[in-house]
Amino acid sequence: MIRHRPIAALCALGLFATPALTATADDAAALRAELAILKADYAARVDALEARIVQLEAAAANPQPLPEPPAAPPDTRSSATAFNPAISLIIGGSYADTSRDPGDWRVAGFIPSGGEVGPGERSFNLGESELTLSANVDPYFSATMTAAITGENEIEVEEAFFRTLALPAGFTAKGGRFFSGFGYLNEVHAHAWDFVDPPLVYQAFFGNQMAQDGLQVKWIAPTDLFIELGAEVGNGDAFPGTRRHRNGLSATAIFAHIGGDLGVSTSWRAGAAWLDQRAEDRTYEDTGDVGAPVVDAFTGKSRTWVVDAVLKWAPNGDVTRRQLKIQGEYMRRAEDGELAYDVGGLGLADGYRHEGSGWYLQTVYQFHPRWRIGARYDALDSGAPRIALVDDGTLSAGAFTLPRAADPDRVSLMLDWNPSEFTRLRAQYAWDDARAAGGRDRQFRLQYLFGIGAHGAHKY
């Protein structure tokens, strides 16, 4: 009996193992079937891709014209909303208290332009309001117009120009009427000035600001250091030039600006410019040596050189709490031509040459959020003009009372509060010695400025 037990055990084990071997064979067959299916699917996809490649090669060899695009849907907007420019309005006004009559204010030593603002009239005054409309015309041009509405109920076109949007290689072009790009302050609108009035040198040399009716081209270099070069041509209608009623260019300007950062808290910009203008019968009124009004006129060349610089500081670039700005410009102008005396009477005329210079330096410090203080000193040196009619004895020196040697200057202090980016309230006190008669004029002024609408960012 003992010998039969191993045989019985082996038989029993064989009975249990038979189903397992059968299951393994079935699994292998299933895997082979799945592999065959995958191979067939892969082969089909490869054949499809090869057929697609053949089709694309054939299409490239025989291109077919593209179908016409579907017509654009009609513009269903009304004419009133088809073009929506950005509109902004600046409202300004002031109160003036002066120790001398503002009616006889003028810059001594320089032929007047007729546009100097001076301290303005005493008591309350409605200042100049600015209405600006601007928008992109299409992908290639934008357009801007600023109308100045004076307190005397006059409307003047301050700027009206187009600007390119798609010129390559850092170029932009602007045409129409625009503030010239020379210097620093000339392009800044009056409501963005740091003081109520412009420096004396701007009033004496340009009658506040110089606008060109012409064309301007600028180029910005593709460098880490800011480099801007520009040139302008115009009809020369703005003081100290005049429109000469002939073909050609009467005013040319070239300028260059560079700038950059000094660490994370300080930035700077500097520039130089040259303006060449022509004047023809640029008249002005003088009193003459007999005390009676006479009209004199200058004809000739007027050339101005300008250098400017600005430095700005804010801790870690954060201008919301504290910031400091130091700004200055120096200008020198030479006029060479002919000066006519009493053009409506004697009509005497002979050579004339005059070189004058002027500069200002100002600093503005924001010592607390929304509060700023500032100081400015500006001065002029008219030099001694060379008048041939006086040098040869034809007329006495008293015949010309305006173009005489003088060195006017002024000191201004200001404090302003800016409760928001749309509001500015300012107090300014100045010791003004611009008049030829001597004696400083003490000027106290209050100013308010309110902005409405979408106003563009100001320059650096």
The string of pLDDT tens digits covering residues 215-224 is: 999 999 999 9
Average pLDDT over residues 118-123: 88
Establish if 163 belongs to a structural domain. no
75 or 200, greater pLDDT: 200
Residue 26 — pLDDT band, cuts 50, 70, 90?
Answer: low
Given a cut of 80, whether residue 115 has pLDDT beyond it is: no
In the prediction, which pLDDT does 293 show?
Answer: 86
136 or 14, greater pLDDT: 136
In the prediction, which pLDDT does 76 show?
Answer: 41
How far is Cα 19 from Cα 324, in angstroms, rounded to an integer?
A: 94
Establish if 53 belongs to a structural domain. no
CA angle 422, 424, 425 (to 5 degrees): 150
Residue 349 phi/psi, 5-degree rounding, is -150, 145
Residue 44 phi/psi, 5-degree rounding, is -65, -40
Read off the CATH number of the domain in which 196 is found. 2.40.160
How far is Cα 67 from Cα 70, in angstroms, rounded to an integer?
A: 9
Instruction: Decide: 359 and 201 in contact? Cβ < 8 Å.
Output: yes
Given a cut of 60, whether residue 79 has pLDDT beyond it is: no
In the prediction, which pLDDT does 25 show?
Answer: 61
Burial 406-442 (b: 16+ CB within 10 A, else e): bebbbebebebebeeeeebebebebebbbbeeeebbe
Establish if 144 belongs to a structural domain. no
291 lies in which domain range?
A: 181-444
In the prediction, which pLDDT does 103 show?
Answer: 85
Establish if 155 belongs to a structural domain. no
Average pLDDT over residues 142-163: 92
How far is Cα 311 from Cα 327, in angstroms, rounded to an integer?
A: 7
Establish if 93 belongs to a structural domain. no
Residue 347 — pLDDT band, cuts 50, 70, 90?
Answer: confident
CA atoms 7, 11, 12, 14: torsion sign: positive
Establish if 322 belongs to a structural domain. yes
pTM beyond 0.95: the answer is no
Residue 249 phi/psi, 5-degree rounding, is -105, 135
Report how many domains make up the chain. Answer: 1
Percent of the chain past pLDDT 90, that is, above it, reads 57
How far is Cα 273 from Cα 304, in angstroms, rounded to an integer?
A: 8
Establish if 224 belongs to a structural domain. yes
368 or 70, greater pLDDT: 368
Cis peptide before 240 (omega within 30 of 0): yes
In the prediction, which pLDDT does 217 show?
Answer: 97
Which helix (H) or strand (E) segment holds residue 49: the answer is helix 4-61
Establish if 3 belongs to a structural domain. no
| Listed range (32-36, 183-187, 263-267) with the worst mean pLDDT | 32-36
Q: Which of 160, 218, 263, 206 is nearest to 380 (CA)?
A: 206
**What is the separation of C-alpha 131 from the centre of its chain, rounded to a whole number of angstroms?**
17
Given a cut of 90, whether residue 96 has pLDDT beyond it is: yes
Q: Average model confidence (pLDDT) for the chain?
A: 86
